[in-house]
């Protein structure tokens, strides 16, 4: 079933029962709905981002697909196999990257850790060695000393790279990456993001990538699923999502000049804000639905009226705007 | 003073709720403890003369385990607590808060004593099953109190030395286990000094631990110590005070050391 | 998936940790002497070695050092199998193990082998020198035989340990249960306190433990009696094999429960 799609999730529901203390010795049970009917799909050759705040249900979704959590209802298929009924077949098709900080044996080197997990994933001696050599080079772990440094001496960035290397050990066609750049320094985070994009676009893998970082989601993901309180509130490419919100976009200019700025602005048939300072500097923000239509015209008018353009740009709504718009609707 | 008591009470309440009231661990711990006593005590019956009073043997076992439990508390509740603080990343917060360790330890001391009390209750039952009810009688209550007080002082000093070593050099759990095993044996904590070979007796009397042990054995079992009572009392107190003074100095030195060099990483065990 | 790559991986994991954490390595050498010394010290204090020899038929030093060696080796298997899910959970590797296609039963069979091999080899530092001191060359040969029997006894515990692990780790704070199970098995093995002296109920439960039969074989060797040793060996092996399907079911049960609750991923 669903052989052509990498991941198919249909109406997954997951509830947790949490004990809540109400008195000295008494407690009640509270039901927390971690997933309330989540549905989506992921194709081969794309990076799909699962974007949401802490507690939204991102990790729960990953765990269901990684066969680490049984949903209460709904169906999920990975590489065409049902995650509940055929978990062993699913496990042969996935590579996972969970918490970056934990998940390795401290007294083994990076290479030794990979060798251990390669055995778990069924790689034989020679294939295992070749694959590990390749991955260590790909993730620049040789340069960082993965061959001789014990895991407990690794920095967080190194652990993240090693974690990705482990996810790639069996060269699985589907990768489930749970906040892979959390806590990393910018160079390490950027390297991970570049690799993730290559794995999807160059190698044809299907990647489900969870993050709460809107900026990162926009950089990495081909499509985004916004999740909040256990449901998908919106889905689409980053651009599609931004265009769906009714927020006006902004043409933002910093100009300098002594002439009357009203001569330029009064002719505009739209809302704008102006801030001026003593040095004849003006900060102008023009709110408009389609800024591309008026951008060149506005710049030309300012120049014709004797103003110097210090800077001019079009401000887009951010994914944060998108997220807030869709989540407040819930 | 009030602040100290309040802080200590907060620690006591937290540990009492988590370790004694809410955690099943208290009961499981007692069950486990009773099985360990069975494991170590039952082979000893193979050495016993059938003519010997089993209740006397049981009383000896009871006293030995009582002292062993106190050593265990000093090692695993007090000294090892610092190790847990390092593992959990709490130690730096303690130091930075400026409240020091005293409130924390005043808070957990009653917890240790409650645990020892319940453990000895279980101990009594297990020994009664193996040999018969231990023949215990408080011969001299004032000496018993004095002995327990001396023991407490010595164990606090020991915990300070072990704890100070842990925070500055990350002593492994295995080393701690070895120390907690050997120390009570080598210092006459578990066996009457009169039954030890002479060289070991001499060594034990040079350590502070043997004095409270001899006093407790006398006051519960009536076994005469190898040293005269006035000497026993005076030397015991002198040793204890000197040991405490040395250990406090050592602990302060180790705290200063970690402020200069940072805490050592420790493994889980 | 064959057992060999798993064994290789486990060997690398265990020996990597063992030789890099010296305290663990030293512990393996010292513990048999520590436990034996402890018991002998008290035994000699409260009683007499002659009475021991009268009752048991062997010098208490030989008996206790062998008992410590037996218990250390057999509990190595129990500890590794029972504690591994907990240590993997603590380290954070458990999700990767459960999400991998590895054969769970083969993995759990492979887990205790490396440390067991190291522990059994410690017979060269514990029982062999003592036996050689007491009985000369014959003693050293006897020590080798006992090492082989102990290895067999320890291996026979793998299946029952897997059953216990699968059942216990579905309970929260399972380590507390393990702290009861472990000393209980140590008592029921009959290494320190021979089975023949145990009350009937304890004897009956001990009978169900495969390696307790191997311990009895060793005790019979002490007193020079070969009666029934082949039957005892056969019982141990049969029990170990009988428990194996239960081990597989137990692991499946544990995995299903873990996945139903959700595997911790930090």
Residues of C in contact with B46 (CB under 8 A): 43, 47, 51-52, 55-56, 60, 193, 197
User: Measured between CB atoms, which of A68, A106, A119 is closest to C263?
Assistant: A68
State the pLDDT at residue B75: 83
Tell me the two tokens of residue B225.
């110590």
CB contact under 8 A, A116 and C13: yes
Residues of B in contact with C34 (CB under 8 A): 178, 181-182
Residues of B in contact with A152 (CB under 8 A): 265
pLDDT in tens, A59-118: 999 999 999 888 999 999 999 999 999 998 999 999 999 877 788 888 888 998 898 888
Rounded-to-integer distance, Cα A77 and Cα A64, Å: 10
Strands A223-228 and A231-236: antiparallel
Chains that touch A (3 or more CB pairs under 8 A): B, C
**Helix, strand, coil percentages for chain B (3-state, nearest 5):** 80, 0, 20
Residue identified by tokens 């048999």 is C32
Degrees, nearest 5: CA angle B16-C182-C259: 75
Q: Nearest CA of chain C to the CA of A236: how many Å?
A: 28
Rounded-to-integer distance, Cα A141 and Cα A147, Å: 8
CB contact under 8 A, B52 and C47: yes
| Domain regions of chain A by residue span | 1-93+173-178+203-244, 99-171, 248-317
Is C199 part of a structural domain of the chain?
yes
CB contact under 8 A, C262 and A16: yes
Those residues of chain C whose CB sits closer than 8 Å to some CB in chain A are 1, 5-6, 8-9, 12-13, 16-17, 20-21, 91-93, 95-102, 107, 259-260, 262-263, 265-266
Is C266 part of a structural domain of the chain?
no
Instruction: Provide the chain A residues 150-189 that lie in CB contact (below 8 A) with chain B.
Output: 152
Chain A interface disruption, residue of B16, B18, B22, most A CBs within 10 A: B22
C-beta separation of C147 from C127 below 8 A: yes
How many domains, in total, are found in chain C?
1
pLDDT in tens, A277-321: 878 899 998 888 778 888 888 899 999 999 999 999 888 777 777
The beta-carbon contacts of C179-184 under 8 Å, at least 24 apart in sequence, are C179/B28, C179/B29, C179/B32, C180/B28, C180/B31, C180/B32, C180/B35, C181/C78, C181/C82, C182/C75, C182/C78, C182/C79, C182/C82, C183/B32, C183/B35, C183/B36, C183/B38, C183/B39, C184/B35
pLDDT (tens place) for every residue of chain C, 266 residues total: 678 888 988 998 888 877 776 666 777 777 777 888 888 888 888 788 899 999 998 999 999 999 999 998 999 899 899 989 988 888 889 999 999 999 999 999 999 999 999 889 888 988 999 999 999 999 999 999 999 999 999 999 999 999 999 998 888 778 888 889 999 999 999 999 999 898 899 999 999 999 999 999 999 988 888 888 999 999 999 999 999 999 999 999 999 999 988 888 76
CB contact under 8 A, A117 and C96: yes
Nearest C-alpha in B relative to C192: B43
Q: Nearest CA of chain B to the CA of C235: how many Å?
A: 25
Rounded-to-integer distance, Cα A119 and Cα C4, Å: 9
CA dihedral C18, C19, C22, C24 (to 10 degrees): 10
Enumerate residues 6+ apart whose C-beta is below 8 A from A88.
Answer: C101
Rounded-to-integer distance, Cα A167 and Cα A220, Å: 18
Is the confidence metric ipTM above 0.90 for this complex? no
Architecture of the structural domain at A1-93+173-178+203-244: 3-Layer(aba) Sandwich (3.40)
CATH topology of domain A248-317: Alpha-Beta Plaits (3.30.70)
| Domain regions of chain B by residue span | 2-261
pLDDT in tens, B50-90: 887 888 888 888 888 888 888 888 888 888 888 777 776 66
Nearest C-alpha in B relative to A105: B267
Enumerate residues 6+ apart whose C-beta is below 8 A from A322.
Answer: A226, A234, A241, A242, A244, A245
Residues of B in contact with A154 (CB under 8 A): none
Rounded-to-integer distance, Cα A72 and Cα A74, Å: 7
Instruction: Count chain B–chain C contacts defined by CB atoms under 8 A.
Output: 98
Residues of B in contact with C177 (CB under 8 A): 28
CB contact under 8 A, B43 and C192: yes
Residue C120, domain extent: 3-261
Measure Cα distances from C26 to A223, B2, C23, C71, C80 in Å. Answer: 56, 47, 5, 17, 18
Is C204 part of a structural domain of the chain?
yes
> Does pTM top 0.90 for this prediction?
no
Which ranges of B19-101 would DSSP assign to H, the alpha helix?
25-41, 54-72, 80-88, 91-97
Q: Nearest CA of chain B to the CA of C151: how many Å?
A: 22
Rounded-to-integer distance, Cα A172 and Cα A170, Å: 5
Residues C253, C259, C261, C263: is their CA dihedral positive or negative? Answer: positive
CB contact under 8 A, C52 and B47: yes
């Amino acid at each position: 079933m669903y052989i052509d799609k990498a991941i198919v999730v249909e109406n997954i529901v997951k509830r947790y029962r949490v004990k809540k203390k109400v008195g000295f010795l008494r407690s009640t049970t509270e039901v927390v709905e971690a997933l309330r009917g989540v549905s989506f799909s992921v194709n081969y050759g794309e990076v799909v981002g699962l974007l949401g705040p802490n507690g939204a249900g991102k990790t729960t979704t990953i765990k269901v697909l990684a066969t680490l959590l049984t949903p209460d209802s709904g169906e999920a298929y990975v590489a065409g196999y049902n995650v509940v009924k055929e978990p062993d077949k699913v496990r042969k098709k996935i590579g996972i990257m969970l918490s970056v900080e934990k998940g390795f044996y401290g007294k083994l080197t990076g290479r030794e850790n990979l060798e251990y997990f390669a055995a778990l994933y069924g790689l034989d001696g020679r294939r295992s060695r070749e694959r590990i050599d390749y991955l260590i080079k790909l993730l620049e772990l040789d340069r960082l000393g993965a061959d001789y440094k014990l895991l407990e001496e690794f920095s967080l960035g190194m652990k993240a790279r090693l974690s990705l290397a482990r996810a790639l050990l069996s060269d699985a066609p589907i990768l489930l990456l749970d906040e892979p750049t959390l806590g990393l320094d910018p160079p390490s985070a950027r390297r991970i993001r570049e690799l993730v994009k290559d794995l999807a676009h160059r190698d044809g893998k299907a990647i489900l990538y969870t993050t709460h970082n809107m900026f990162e989601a926009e950089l990495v993901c081909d499509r985004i699923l916004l999740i909040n309180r256990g449901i998908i509130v919106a889905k689409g490419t980053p651009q599609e999502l931004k265009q769906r919100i009714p927020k006006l976009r902004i043409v933002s200019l910093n100009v300098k000049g002594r002439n009357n700025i009203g001569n330029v602005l009064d002719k505009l048939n739209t809302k704008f804000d102006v801030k001026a300072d003593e040095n004849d500097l003006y900060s102008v923000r023009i709110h408009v639905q389609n800024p591309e239509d008026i951008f060149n015209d506005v710049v030309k008018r300012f120049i014709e009226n004797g103003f110097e353009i210090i800077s001019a740009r079009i401000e887009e709504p951010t994914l944060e705007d998108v997220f807030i718009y869709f989540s407040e609707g819930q | 003073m009030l602040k100290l008591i309040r802080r200590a009470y907060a620690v006591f309440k937290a540990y009492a709720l988590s370790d004694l009231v809410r955690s099943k661990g208290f009961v499981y711990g007692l069950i486990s403890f009773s099985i360990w006593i069975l494991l170590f005590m039952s082979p000893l019956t193979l050495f016993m003369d059938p003519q010997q009073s089993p209740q006397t043997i049981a009383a000896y076992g009871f006293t030995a385990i009582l002292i062993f439990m106190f050593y265990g508390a000093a090692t695993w509740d007090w000294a090892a607590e610092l190790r847990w603080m390092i593992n959990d990343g709490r130690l730096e917060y303690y130091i930075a808060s400026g409240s020091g360790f005293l409130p924390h330890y005043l808070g957990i001391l009653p917890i240790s004593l409650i645990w020892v009390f319940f453990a000895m209750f279980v101990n009594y039952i297990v020994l009664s099953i193996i040999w018969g009810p231990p023949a215990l009688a408080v011969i001299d209550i004032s000496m018993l109190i004095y002995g327990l007080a001396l023991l407490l002082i010595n164990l606090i000093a020991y915990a300070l030395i072990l704890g100070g070593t842990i925070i500055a050099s990350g002593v492994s759990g295995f080393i701690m286990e070895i120390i907690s095993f050997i120390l009570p044996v080598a210092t006459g904590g578990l066996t009457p000094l009169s039954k030890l070979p002479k060289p070991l007796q001499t060594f034990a009397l040079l350590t502070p631990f043997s004095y409270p042990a001899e006093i407790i054995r006398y006051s519960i079992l009536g076994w005469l110590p190898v040293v005269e009572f006035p000497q026993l009392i005076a030397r015991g107190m002198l040793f204890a005070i000197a040991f405490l003074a040395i250990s406090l100095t050592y602990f302060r030195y180790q705290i200063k050391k970690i402020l200069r060099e940072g805490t050592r990483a420790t493994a889980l065990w | 998936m064959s057992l060999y790559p798993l064994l290789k991986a486990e060997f690398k994991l265990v020996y990597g940790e063992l030789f890099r954490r010296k305290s663990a390595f030293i512990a393996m050498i010292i513990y048999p002497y520590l436990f034996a010394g402890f018991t002998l010290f008290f035994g000699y204090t409260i009683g007499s070695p002659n009475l021991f020899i009268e009752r048991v038929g062997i010098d208490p030093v030989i008996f206790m050092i062998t008992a410590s060696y037996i218990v250390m080796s057999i509990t190595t298997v129990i500890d590794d199998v029972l504690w591994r899910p907990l240590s993997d959970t603590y380290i954070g590797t458990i999700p990767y193990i459960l999400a991998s296609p590895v054969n769970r039963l083969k993995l759990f069979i492979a887990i205790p082998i490396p440390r067991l091999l190291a522990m059994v080899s410690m017979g060269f530092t514990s029982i062999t020198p003592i036996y050689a001191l007491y009985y000369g060359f014959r003693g050293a040969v006897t020590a080798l035989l006992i090492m082989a029997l102990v290895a067999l006894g320890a291996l026979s515990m793998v299946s029952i340990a897997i059953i216990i692990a699968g059942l216990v780790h579905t309970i929260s704070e399972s380590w507390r249960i393990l702290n009861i199970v472990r000393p209980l098995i140590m008592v029921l093995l009959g290494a320190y306190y021979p089975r023949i002296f145990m009350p009937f109920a304890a004897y009956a439960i001990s009978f169900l433990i495969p390696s307790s039969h191997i311990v009895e074989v060793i005790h019979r060797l002490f007193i020079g009696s070969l009666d029934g040793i082949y039957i005892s060996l056969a019982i141990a092996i049969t029990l170990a094999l009988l428990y194996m399907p239960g081990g597989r079911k137990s692991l499946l049960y544990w995995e299903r429960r873990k996945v139903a609750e959700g595997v911790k991923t930090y």
